[in-house]
Structure formats: structure tokens, C-alpha cells
Structure 1
Amino acid sequence: MKKIKYLLTIILSCLLVVGTSCRDDMADINTNPSQVVKGNIPYLFAQAVIEFEPSGYLYWFYNAAMTYRWGQMGVPTGGFTSTYTETTATGDQGYQYIRVLNYARDIQHLRSTMSEEESAKYASLSACVDILTVYLGIFDSDMYGDRPFTEASMARYGGTLTPKYDKIEDLYTLWVGMLDNAITTLTTAENQIFPHTQDVIYNGDVSKWAKLANSLKLKIAVRLLSQKKEQALTIASDVAAASCGVLDGRDDDFLFNKANAIAKDDGDKVYHWNQTFLTGMASSQRVVNFMLRNKDPRVRFFYRKNEWNSKIVQGFFDADKNIPAYILENVNYSVVDGKKKFESWKGLGEPWVRYYGLPVEMDAGNNVAYADYFDYANRCRLTNERAAYMPFSQFQQEMIIGRYDFTLPTLPGDPIIQDTEDVPWYGMYMSTAEVNLYLAEFKLLGANLPKTAEEYFNKGVRASVEEYDRLASLNKIPYYGKTYDYDPNEKVIDLKAGEIEAMLTNTDYQLTGNTTSDLEKVYVQQLIHFTLFPDDQFVTVRRSGCPKEESNLIRWENFSPLVPNNAIPRRFEVPAPSPTDKMYQILLDSYRSQGFTPGSNQPGTLLNSERVWQDKGAPQFGEGPKQ
């Protein structure tokens, strides 16, 4: 599978140098060739939105699985072993920004051929494409550092076939400047051509695009904290003071679906892709238990119910077969004439009792004490003909793709109940919750902000629950709004009135004025909010030192001496370039300047010590926050 990584590198390198040449010449043809002979900027903008993708299949299949386990926010279904730090192939991260930058270059070129007056009419559309490009630039550089940007995608317009790699430090400065320019344009430009029908994100509302640009600066600022804290605090203060505002409420959130009908047989744009992913990953017991302890409704949106509904429990009773102990602990049952009968769920009841994570402890999969979790293929089977009933919770795949067939767990011989509806997929990329959790962090670190850390924190956590409830509804995930009329004890997973208020009364969800403990609480909430954003979640783990060892919230497990914390990778490998590659020397120079050793099958100690620039000076895994 390693070969995939290098093949992708070659393909993406081609994107860097040839730009738009393999995109059906979208700058020249956007509709019927007999009607359009020059590029149409609104169509180019719409195509840039279509190509915007920080959540591709290979990213979820390879990258997410690695970062979940490296950050202990997910657990391999076989448990943690000494080889869990090994890298796999990677994909859909590193050069995603090029796909949008190509259109930005096309728009820039077309505007350069127009009169000044005509070009000015497209300033807002150009600014919006810049915002999308910066977002993906941040995403791509998180695990790789320096990127070709200032000279990239220019070959078609007289530029070089060998673009230089820009320093990530310089790119952060450049991107903040691009976002500032976008804000200025979007808040002052007049007489703009901006057809709202071409904008599936904000329907042509430039004020919301300006809020997104301003909010996106916070994403850069938190990545500067380990290297340039004062600059990061200044950016945060500027963001809060900006007259354009920040993302504030569901109508502002960067959340949309690209299309609701298939065009040109491209169902991926409507439903996202449909391959399986994360089959070898499950939720973490420590994360799930933390959320259950605090009755956090998001546990129901991030993870799938296990397959042990009350009828399955009764089926195991009737067959006189053992039930995993941790499930049985939550069952009230009677015994009549030696036969057990399910009466009700204990504890939190449905739907909460259907969520269980896997233990984090090293080699738990080979420990008989944890066999109820890991030996489920044998212990959770009623008949040989029917697959085992999954006793733990995996990630909720229908929050990521709209083509996923759900099969209700039923007893052998009962009717098969399935939900096979293909649902146009909605993705969330930045939101009110993320903005306010960043502002809570910056307030605690000393930024000059108008509200208290507690106000930002409470608003961020509340918004996060509401946003994921909305996303679960839009994506029609299993058990949202329906129980399938099979198990009379089944409950829907919809957010209920009063749940957020009750959650926020818990000590774990309250700031107390102690900066050290409050920072950890903010970071833990960022980690939870980013459960379906593996890159952002891992960046938060990496820069915060959370989960923290000996924590009372979500505890980091130190696997020393078998796998010490400094043996866990903090970035992905960079492949050794081929001497025949036109970029050969540029790549070598870039790796050398960043202190990277190129190659494959590299040890975690190397990928921990040779850090990307923005990660230098950050705490080691498990150390907890620095102030």
C-alpha cells in the first residue's frame, strides 16, 4: 500500500505544474462550447467551490485512522499494540489547495485581460476563492509544513514548472494578508457581479463570506501560538474587534452541500464518496465515558449505537449465551423458571446505554480481562450464519458520506430492516462553535477580547451541540427521528429540550477561574468538537498536550517504556523524490531547510523530533497545556 503514497505524490506534483490543463479547460469552456468562448468568472467560482475538498476518501481511509490513534482519540479495533505508531499510505492531504488555487489563477488571469472597471466587478468572487484557497492551504500544511504557493499553478500563464516551496511561517503571514484583503473587498466593493445561484455556500451574501474570512484568521492564529504567541494574540484581538464580525449562528456557519442532484454522473459531489472507511477504528472508552458522564448529546452524533438493542439482549437470554459484562451491567432483568427476561435499561437508559468505547490500555486486545470488547467475533454471535453483534461504538459514517446502507440489528429469522436511502451530504467546515472555543482559549492566554473566557466557552460548547444535531438531521443518520419499529425500547438520538442546559451544569463543562484547569477544559472541548475533523483534532492534540496524563477529564495513557510519548509521530512522512523529478532539488532543499529526513517506514521518534515549523516548541504528547 506504500506505493499509493508515492503515486499520489507524482499525480499531485503534476497538478502543481500544469495547473488547469487537465480540467477540461474550464477557463475557456463552462457551458455549451458554441455559446461560451471565454472563461466565465462566476462559473469558475462555482467550480472552485465544487473542487473544495478537505474531507476526501483517502484522507479518511488512511490519514484519519493514523491521527485518531496517535492522539488517542480513537482506538484500533484490535486494540493498541507496540506497532500502532507505524505510518501507512496517505492521501487527499498535502496538495488539495492546488485544486482551488488553479481557479484562483484562472480568475486572476481573466481579470487581468479586462478593463479596470470591468475587472473590479469580480473582486468579491475572487476574494471568496482566496478564502477557500487559504482554508485548504492551512489544512494541507498541517502535516507537511512548507508548501509551493506563490509560484504554484502559474505555468499556464508564463510561470515556472518548478515552483518554489514557501516557508509555512511566510505563508501564514501571506494568508492573513489575503484574508484581510478579502474582508476589505467584501465589505467595501460596489457594483459586483455575484450571481447568488452560483454560491451554494452563502447564496451570494458577501457579509457572511467576510465573517468566514475573519474567523479563518483564528485558525492560523492558534497554529502560531508555539512560535509567535504575541502575534497570535494580536490576530485574535484584531478578529474580535473587526467590524465585519465572526461566524455567529447557524446562518453564518460554513456548512453546506455541493449539490442535490447528480450532474454528469458525478454522485460524489452530491453524496460524497461511498467506499468504506475507518473499519479498523472505534471510539475511545475514555472519550465516550467522559461524554456519557456529562450526558453530552454529541456522543450520539459522533458515534454509532452498538448493536445490542433490548431484543438482541433477550435473544442471548433465550439462547442461554453470555452477554458482555459491561452491557449486562446496564440491564434490569427478571428470572422466572430459570429463564431471564429483559425488563428495562439501567442507568442513563436509551439511547445512552448503546454507546461504549474500546479500552485504551496497551495490548488490551490480547488480554483476557478485555475479551468482552475484543473477542466479540466469538462472544457476540448467536448463530454461525449471522455476523457477530458489535458490542462497542464505531464512528458515525453517515455524518461523512451520504451513500451508506444501514442495517438494523435484528435477531436471526426476523425480517431484515435496512435504510438504503442515498442522502445528499452536508459537510461542516467551520462554525460558531470553533470560533468561540478559540476565543475562549485566547482570552485565557491573555488576548485583549471584549468577553470573558466563560462566555466564549459556554457559547462554543452550546453551539457545538446544536450544530452537530443539525448536521445529524440534515444527513439523516440512523436513529435520528426514527426507531424503525423493531425494538419497543429503542429511542431516537435527536437533541432534546433541556439537554444542553443540564450538560453545562457539570463541573467538567464549567470554567472556574483557574487558568491551568480552564485551559485544559477548553482544549478538551476543542478535541470533542473536532471529532469529525481528524486533522484539526490532531493539530489540537499536538499543540495543547491534551489529553493530559493524570487528567480528571480525558486521560492520556503513557505507553512507556514500550512506546514512549516521544516515539509517536507528529507529522506524516515525506517521500524521497526521484532524481528524474523536475522538482527533485527543490524538494530536497525544502526538506533540508525544514529538518526533514525523506523516506518511508520511518520510526515515530524521527517523525516526533523532526517537526513542522508550527509544531516546534509545542508540548509533548500528554504533557498538558503551556501558558
Structure 2
Amino acid sequence: MKIIYKICLTCVAIVGLTIAGCKKEDFVELNTDPSLIDRITPEQQFMNTMLSIQGDRFEAYYDNFRGIMPWMQMVTPLAGNSVTFISESGSLRNVRYGVFFPGVGGNLTDVEQLIKKMPAEEQAKRVFQTEIARIVKAYYAFYVSDITGSIPYTEAFMVRYGGTETPKYNTQPELFDILDTQLKNAVSSLSSTPSIPQTSYGSSDLFYQGDVSKWIRVANSTRLRMAMRLMKRDPSKMKTKVLEILSAPGGLIDNANDSWIFRANATYADGGDWSAAGLRAPRPIVDFMYTNSDPRIRFFYQQNLFTQVNFDLAKAQGKIPASSTFDSRRYYGVATSPDASAAADFSKFLNNITIKVKNATGQDVDLVMDTLSFIQPRLFAAGEQGGKGVNSFPLITYPDVCFMRAELASRGVTTENAESWYNKGVEASIRLYDDLANKAQIVDRSNALSYQAVSATEIAAYMARPAVKFDPSKALDQIVSQAYLNFFKQPNEAWAIFKRTGMPNTSTVVPLEKLVASGTEQFIPRRAALGIPSVTNLNYQNIMDAYKAMQADPDFGQGPSDITGRVWWDKK
């Protein structure tokens, strides 16, 4: 796993830090020789965890760019989706499982155990540190279980502390209760007045620099996200949880500054498997965003190269007919349905036209143009094309919370105002991506800086569009559609909201395409494939027992590897 030792923090300014008091080689040695755990402090191990939580490039490449994002029609490969893109081998590796076991989960367990080894008076100063580590651990366990189902948790990560090498698996319903209680207890503890001053993580907390009030909001917001997963499985329990969470101490994430986002400098994700440079913009989202003048379109996708200047050069050089008329639209997406993509007359998009242009020194060079747009690569890897900007990895943001509250109100689960939370969510999402694009220093396809700040006028105009302006008769559709757009940088949540609500689809406010390959409708996978362990695996029996228990639910599918099957919360 890629571990970077310089990161960016959002304090008064974004600054680069190195891990203080612990050399880089100590971290490497620790990861290869766990017996050296006593050399590290809780602060250092907490920082180590924060650095690794988003640090696996394979999750970006396999799980997001090749799996979830094409399935959810957020991107396509260069030539559109192939007929096998749903079932393509390797399209979803469930990398998050390998990040959690033994890495993130083990490191956060280390934090707690390191504190337990301290004298009693020192332990009393570090209660808040323990609870914050438990919040992160609960979130990531939920993230792993979300597409995996049962996982080992209560007996996991304790081998080096005298625990078992063969931890039993917790079922997903068990885990949801365990994690909810863990988060609830953390909020209770962090909201109390300590009898003695608490030791802060300080700069080792790469998210909030030890601000306890923000961690409380993260815990409550994580509980809310988990509770909403119960919508189909146990709506009564969901409602009870939601109402309890809304009245919990400390509240939810309620402004942009409280958003839970990991930020890192450009070298943290700088090309290779991190790169989104070869991914096309999808037609459904592009058409909706362009038609409605969504300001986020320029942050999500790049304009094509058909500027007026290039168009005139193409004409002058005989590359296009002299009768051609300039098209001022600079955003076009590729069809997401494999059959539609294969049948498309790409000639109408003037693909692969090569013209001569002058470079910076006045020399003639070739420029290959097409009309189809690409994804904005620096939004996903700020180091792309030599960039020096800041990478941002959202976990739970203020607009996420707004849309959750809007949906709950729309469904009558709460008595809050759905329209108010919807409007807050749309504006907050636009401002979030404005900030992410600015920090990432996005560029156009000529590699010129192309960030343009969003104006209040643009936001107001977008929110006045008939498809966007809140309409009580289609409120839930609008809320889910806007939440889906907001999850562009959180593809797992776009996938989850689709599984939970069945939206967006071909008839929603943001209309997706019907996915057809070789004349057969394709259906979006619902979970990760689970590998069959070797009989030499120490935990073989517990793994197989967990699979057997999950398979007792007919919704689980035909077997562990059936990606069309469902985890417990995703009830038919």
C-alpha cells in the first residue's frame, strides 16, 4: 500500500507536514515487524492510519474507475462501455477489505492498546483519543461491510495482544448494532466534561487537528448514514434511530468547514492507477448538467477541443467541410449503454481530426481533436499532468447530510422541511465542488489553468430551472437525483443510494440510460464478490460459516461470488 509522509492540512493555510518524532523507516519497519509497536505513540499511529485510509491506488483504479463509476454511469472508458463491462473480471476487487484487514483496523486497535499500556493517570488523559479512534474504526468497518456483508470485528485485530488468530464473523445486522452503539458511546464520552484535561491528537489528526466538537458531528453523521441503510430492511428501527440521532448531543455536520474530507498534496495521488485522464464523460449526466447550466459540469468534466479558433483552423486546413457550422456547445458525453455506444455515429462528433497549430515557440504541431468530453482528471488526482494542487477525498460532507435530512423529511420520517434541506444541499454541493476544483487546480485539455469560481448568480439560475427547483410532487426524485450528482467523488454512496432507492433510473429527473449489451438488458451489481479461502487458511471454518449464514438469505444470490446478490441491508 502506498504510504505518503507529506500531507496537506486545512488549518489557517494548507501546509505540508512530515511525521514528527517518528522516522519514515520506523513506519516501514513497524509495518513489517509488528513486535516493534511499542516504539510508536498513539498520535503517530493515528496519523499513520489517516495516511493509509485513502492510500490504495487499486481502490481508485479497480473499484471506482473500472467498477462502480461505469456501473453508475458516472464515467465510461475511452470508447464507451464494452458488452462485458458489468461482469468484467477485476472490475471490483473490494480493495477496502484489504485496507481494513489488517491495516486500518489493526492500526486503530493499536492506538487503543497503546493507551491501555500507559499508567492509569496517563490513560485518564487520553479517553478522548480512544473515542476518536473508535469513531474512525466504526466508520471504516461499516464501509467494508457495506458491500461485503459479514466481517470479523469484535474478535478481530487482537492477535498481538493475546487475542485469537481465528476471529468469528459478525453478521451485518449484528455489526450495525455494534457500530451504532460504539459511535453513540463515543458521542456521549466526547460530549461530557472531563475530570482532567484531555491530551489532543493535535496536528496528528489530519482531519480536524483534535477538534472534539467536529468528531462528535462526524460520529452522529455516520450513525445517520448507517441508519438510512435500514430503510428497506427495518423502516421502524430506522425511524427510531434517526429521531434519536437528530436529538443527539453535538448535532450533525452542519457547515462546509465541518465536512469530513481527507486532503493531501499532489504527490499523494499523481498518475498511474490514480489517473482518470483516459475516462470519458457519460452522456446522461453531461446532457442533464449542460441543459440545466449546472455549474459543476466544468468541475466534473473537461470541455472538448473544438474552440472557435480550432474549428476555423480545421476549416482552413480542409479537415472539415467548408459548410460546417460552429457548435458552441463544448460538453458532449458518450453513450453509457454498450449497444448504444457501439451503434453511435461518432463521425457526427468529428472524432480524431488532426490539425496543425502553433506551439509556444511558433512551431507547427499536430493537435488531435474530438468533440466528446473527458472527465476532469485533477479532480481525482491533483498531481496529474504535473499538477501541484491538493487532493481531496470526501468521507461525509455537509451536502451529504443536507440530502439525507431532505430525504428523511420527504418520506415523512421527520417533520423537518424537505425543501429547505434540499435547497441547502444543492447549493452546498456546488460550493463543495467549487472548492475541490480550486484546490485541485483543474486544467483544460490544453493543460491551461481553467478553474473558474462559481458565482451566486449561477447558483440561483441553476436552482430556478424547472428540473431543479423544488417541486413537492417529485421531491424524492429531485433529492435523490441531486444527491447522486453530489456523490461524484464518493461513488460508493452513489451506488448505495441507487441500491437503497432504485434511483436514479431511466425516468428520474436525472435520467440514466437503459444498459443493453448485445440486445440483453444489463443489471447493476449489488455487492462485492467474496473469494473462497484456501483450506490452509487459519480462519477457513469461520469464513465458510459466515458465507453459509449469509447464503441462508435468498437475496444473497447464487453463492459468494455472485455480484448480483445482495448484502443484508439491501433487501429486495
TM bin, normalised by shorter chain, reads: 0.7 to 0.9
- Say if 2:308 is the partner of 1:310: yes
Partners of 1:471 and 1:107 in 2: CA distance: 31
> Deviation digits for residues 128-156 of structure 1, max 9, x if unmatched?
11121122222222221111111111100
Partners of 2:322 and 2:549 in 1: CA distance: 53
Partners of 1:324 and 1:427 in 2: CA distance: 47
Residue of 394, 412, 424 corresponding to 1:428: 394
Instruction: Judge conservation of contact 1:82–1:562 (CA < 8 Å) in 2.
Output: no
Instruction: Judge conservation of contact 1:100–1:129 (CA < 8 Å) in 2.
Output: no
TM-score, normalising length: structure 2 = 0.84
Q: Give the match for residue 249 of structure 1.
A: 255
CA-based RMSD of the aligned residues comes to 3.0
Instruction: Judge conservation of contact 2:227–2:238 (CA < 8 Å) in 1.
Output: yes
Q: Give the match for residue 613 of structure 1.
A: 568
- Say if 2:518 is the partner of 1:518: no
Q: Give the match for residue 398 of structure 1.
A: 378
Once the two structures are TM-superposed, the CA of residue 553 in structure 1 deviates from its matched residue by: 3.3
Partners of 1:219 and 1:107 in 2: CA distance: 25
> Deviation digits for residues 257-316 of structure 1, max 9, x if unmatched?
2469xxxxxx43xx5665454456422211111111221111111122223233322221
Q: Give the match for residue 621 of structure 1.
A: none
Q: Give the match for residue 335 of structure 1.
A: none
Q: Give the match for residue 164 of structure 1.
A: 168
Residue of 486, 494, 508 corresponding to 1:551: 508
Count the aligned residue pairs.
Answer: 527
Distance 1:81 1:401, change over 3 A: closer
Distance 1:272 1:175, change over 3 A: farther
Q: Give the match for residue 380 of structure 1.
A: 353
Partners of 1:570 and 1:421 in 2: CA distance: 36
> What fraction of aligned residue pairs are identical, expressed as a percent?
25
Distance 1:273 1:283, change over 3 A: closer
Partners of 1:424 and 1:324 in 2: CA distance: 44
How is 1:228-267 mapped onto 2 (pairs within 5 angstroms)? 228-258=234-264, 267=267
Provide the secondary structure at the position in 2 that maps to 1:363. Answer: helix
How is 1:488-527 mapped onto 2 (pairs within 5 angstroms)? 492-514=451-473, 517-527=474-484
Partners of 2:367 and 2:147 in 1: CA distance: 38
Provide the secondary structure at the position in 2 that maps to 1:153. Answer: coil
Q: Give the match for residue 297 of structure 1.
A: 295
Q: Give the match for residue 189 of structure 2.
A: 185
Distance 1:616 1:131, change over 3 A: same
Residue of 369, 392, 401 corresponding to 2:345: 369
TM-score, normalising length: structure 1 = 0.77
- Say if 2:403 is the partner of 1:437: yes
- Say if 2:529 is the partner of 1:573: yes
> Deviation digits for residues 177-234 of structure 1, max 9, x if unmatched?
1111111122115210004222221122110111111111122122111111122222
Once the two structures are TM-superposed, the CA of residue 123 in structure 1 deviates from its matched residue by: 1.3
Distance 1:542 1:503, change over 3 A: same
Distance 1:121 1:87, change over 3 A: farther
- Say if 2:200 is the partner of 1:194: yes
Distance 1:532 1:103, change over 3 A: same
Q: Give the match for residue 33 of structure 1.
A: none
AA matched with 2:241: I
Distance 1:385 1:563, change over 3 A: farther
Once the two structures are TM-superposed, the CA of residue 458 in structure 1 deviates from its matched residue by: 0.6
> Deviation digits for residues 425-453 of structure 1, max 9, x if unmatched?
2332211100010111111122224x300
Partners of 2:322 and 2:297 in 1: CA distance: 21
Distance 1:147 1:189, change over 3 A: farther
Q: Give the match for residue 282 of structure 1.
A: 280
- Gapped regions of structure 1 (runs ≥ 5): 1-18, 31-39, 261-266, 332-344, 346-352, 406-419, 486-490, 618-627
Provide the secondary structure at the position in 2 that maps to 1:520. Answer: helix
Q: Give the match for residue 3 of structure 2.
A: none
Distance 1:492 1:202, change over 3 A: closer
Instruction: Judge conservation of contact 2:353–2:369 (CA < 8 Å) in 1.
Output: yes
How is 1:129-140 mapped onto 2 (pairs within 5 angstroms)? 129-140=133-144
- Say if 2:130 is the partner of 1:126: yes
Instruction: Judge conservation of contact 1:124–1:189 (CA < 8 Å) in 2.
Output: no
Q: Give the match for residue 357 of structure 1.
A: 333
Instruction: Judge conservation of contact 1:313–1:323 (CA < 8 Å) in 2.
Output: no
AA matched with 2:529: E
Partners of 1:167 and 1:91 in 2: CA distance: 18
Partners of 1:574 and 1:506 in 2: CA distance: 44
Provide the secondary structure at the position in 2 that maps to 1:87. Answer: coil
- Say if 2:100 is the partner of 1:97: yes
Distance 1:484 1:513, change over 3 A: closer
